[in-house]
Amino acid sequence: MTKEIERKFCVQKMPDLTACKGVEISQGYLSVGENGTEIRLRRKGEKFYQTVKQGKGVQRTEVEVELSRAQFDNLWPLTEGRRVEKMRYEIVEGIWTIELDVYRGHLKGLLVAEVEFETIDESSRFVPPPWFGRDVTDDDRYKNAILAHKGKPDDHAQ
């Protein structure tokens, strides 16, 4: 079990991705609780995972287990109606690695950047690059579990 410290931002301007390689991600949700607990399945390239996340805001608990393709394929139909498709690009910015998600399908047009940190203090010192938009870390509508079920927020303009 690990603690994940992460901030999430809308993106107002697409950065230069010519030096970046993207990976396709499909994820679906088996369960999403009112208390912020979610159980998700994820295919990232040719790897498969089941992840449980708990909590809200900048610091959450995360437990991830790698699955076989057969295990993933058996569980995937249970996520029908609660899925997201995206391309993820990793961009190095100073000492941080930014994960830029470019959504597809029913979320097409949504661009979100996430940055993980070692400590809460480090996360508060982070100065976003100019291409970032507003900080949506505490806006539950931008959690992938909510996006998968409800779609883009009505005011999703960056």
Supply the residues annotated as catalytic.
29
Give the predicted TM-score (pTM) of the model.
0.90
pLDDT digits (tens, 9 = 90+) for 2-18: 778 899 999 999 999 98
Whether 139 is in a domain gets the answer: yes
- Residue range(s) defining the domain that contains residue 124: 2-150
What percentage of the chain carries pLDDT values higher than 70? 97
CATH code: domain of residue 36: 2.40.320.10
User: Residue 156: its pLDDT value, please?
Assistant: 60
Q: Which of 36, 74, 84, 38 is nearest to 57 (CA)?
A: 36
Q: What is the DSSP letter of 36?
A: S
Q: How many domains does the chain have?
A: 1
